[in-house]
Amino acid sequence: MKYECIVAILPRGEADRVMEDAKKAGAQGGTIFFARGTGAHEAKTFFGLTLETGREILLILTRDDQTDAVLDAIVESGKLKNPGAGIAFVLDVNRLIGLQHRKFVEVSDHE
């Protein structure tokens, strides 16, 4: 079985809601962590003070036959087609050890 990893970079406060919509589309779960960008537009100023704009990163492992449905739900829920709303991309997973939903799974490109 092949797996893919969906990575969504979202404005802070959005990932929990987006994750719930991804679950409705078939995701079993995901990992959310906080991040900050280093791009030129990441730091905002307010009355001369620099404010950091935080981000949340959502990682979801999916079977490759579920990726499109879950990604579509993320794009819609996160309004990712709107400028500045975030980005999402998909990575192939070549090796996966320890994923347990109902049974132990090991995926390797050496099989």
Q: What is the pLDDT of residue 109?
A: 56
Per-residue pLDDT at 13 exceeds 50: yes
Predicted model pTM: 0.79
How confident is the model at residue 111, as a pLDDT?
47
CA torsion 12-4-94-38 (nearest 10°) is -20
**Per-residue model confidence (pLDDT) at position 44:** 62
pLDDT digits (tens, 9 = 90+) for 65-101: 999 999 999 999 999 999 889 999 999 999 888 766 5
Residue 27 has pLDDT above 90, yes or no: yes
Among residues 44, 41, 36, which one has the least CA distance to residue 12? Answer: 36
DSSP state of 102: S
- Using alpha carbons only, how large is the chain's radius of gyration in Å? 16
Residue position matching structure tokens 């404005």: 11
pLDDT at 97 (0 to 100): 80
